[in-house]
């Protein structure tokens, strides 16, 4: 039995710890890789210029996604705007929960797909979008729908799509830098004679290459860990709004039991949904390992966490 206030602050704390860990790791990786660049190119501050360049490229790639995420996702998924008459439950539940959370009502869209699922996107609460499939609206009752919409509204309230795009920029930066360092070796860089007698330089180079190979993967794993922690946070946020864990629990059960694949989803939009649209094919022995590569925590664990609040 965990009090809802404690649960929210515990989740925020854990999430902050992972994010701090991520930032430290990215800083270290960038430092070592740029030091290795410096050794190669033969002048000390050289690394920073390259870091800046990779940050700009990675940033530009994500910026478009960040500003137009709502429009892009909606176009890909082929959604239509929800209307009060046609989707009474969806519309009013979203309206009610935005009152409770003190946020402006997000734009609401419906995807014609019989697999039950929902997602939220948009860079801040003013540009937020919540999208639900027709399957979700048909299969869930009002209490369950409140749980799901509460979860999506908590994502919006916590600025999760902003956080995840900043994280993506940093992961992209590290990956670009690592890639460049490995490629530049084939172009030769400086003569071997210049590096002679410089032991520190040699060590830096080796450490830098190790980081260049490993850090893109590690950074991605931490990125996924952040994503999973934000899902837990959104679950508790939903309960904080509705005060009815039972609604979200039975909604999660219903959605996860449904075996129909979501046609509108693809790899790029998968992390946005309330439950991973590519449902787990792996079970038991391999699952703890494969969980490392998932954007969402396993449904059983989410339900267990929610039960503790019930």
Partner 1 sequence: MILTWILVIALIVVVFWVFSTYNFFVGSKARIKAAVQEIGNQLKRQSDLIPNLEASTKGYLKHETGIFSKLTEVRKSVESAIKSQDVQKMADAGSKVASLLPDIKVIMESNPEIKGSEVVVKLMDELRDTSDKIMYARRLVIDLTADYNVKRVSIQSSFIANLLKFDEITGLITPQEGEHVEVKAEETKTPKISL
**Binding residues vs partner 1 (CB under 8 A):** 88, 92, 95-97, 99-102, 241, 243
CB of 135 to partner 1, least distance (A): 22
CB of 226 to partner 1, least distance (A): 26
Torsion angle in degrees (nearest 10) through CA of 18, 236, 280, 130: -100
- Give the DSSP H/E element, type plus range, for residue 80: strand 79-81
CB of 307 to partner 1, least distance (A): 21
Give 237 or 297: the residue with its C-beta nearer to partner 1. 237
Distances (CA, A) of 136 to 44, 163, 179: 57, 27, 42
Structure tokens at 117: 């699922």
Active site residues: 152
Give 99 or 112: the residue with its C-beta nearer to partner 1. 99
Give 97 or 118: the residue with its C-beta nearer to partner 1. 97
Give 76 or 99: the residue with its C-beta nearer to partner 1. 99
Q: What is the DSSP string of 278-289?
A: S-----GGGHHH
Distance of CA 162 to the CA centre of its chain: 9
CB of 4 to partner 1, least distance (A): 11
**Helix axis angle, 142-157 relative to 160-184, nearest 10°?**
50
Alpha-carbon distance of 262 to 117, in angstroms, equals 8
């Amino acid at each position: 039995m965990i009090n809802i206030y404690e649960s929210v602050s515990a989740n925020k704390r854990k999430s902050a710890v992972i994010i701090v860990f991520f930032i430290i790791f990215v800083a270290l990786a960038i430092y070592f890789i740029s030091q290795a660049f410096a050794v190669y190119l033969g002048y000390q501050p050289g690394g920073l210029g390259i870091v800046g360049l990779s940050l700009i490229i990675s940033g530009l790639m994500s910026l478009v996604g960040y500003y137009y995420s709502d429009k892009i996702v909606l176009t890909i998924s082929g959604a239509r705007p929800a209307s009060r008459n046609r989707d009474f439950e969806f519309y009013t539940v979203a309206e009610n929960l935005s009152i409770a959370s003190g946020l402006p009502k997000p734009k609401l869209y419906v995807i014609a797909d019989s697999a039950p699922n929902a997602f939220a996107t948009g860079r801040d609460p003013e540009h937020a979008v919540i999208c639900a499939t027709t399957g979700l609206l048909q299969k869930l009752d009002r209490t369950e729908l409140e749980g799901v919409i509460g979860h999506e509204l908590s994502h919006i309230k916590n600025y999760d799509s902003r956080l995840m795009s900043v994280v993506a920029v940093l992961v992209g930066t590290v990956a670009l830098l690592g890639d460049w360092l490995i490629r530049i070796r084939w172009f030769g860089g400086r003569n071997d004679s210049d590096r002679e007698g410089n032991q520190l330089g040699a060590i830096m180079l080796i450490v830098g290459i190790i980081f260049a190979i490993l850090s893109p993967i590690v950074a991605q794993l931490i990125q996924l860990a952040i994503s999973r922690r934000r899902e837990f946070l959104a679950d508790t946020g939903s309960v904080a709004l509705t005060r009815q864990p039972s609604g979200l629990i039975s909604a999660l059960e219903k959605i996860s039991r449904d075996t129909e694949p979501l046609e509108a989803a693809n790899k790029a939009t998968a992390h946005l949904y309330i439950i991973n649209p590519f449902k787990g094919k792996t079970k038991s022995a391999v699952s703890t390992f494969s969980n490392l590569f998932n954007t969402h925590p396993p449904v059983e664990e989410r339900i267990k966490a929610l039960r503790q609040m019930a």
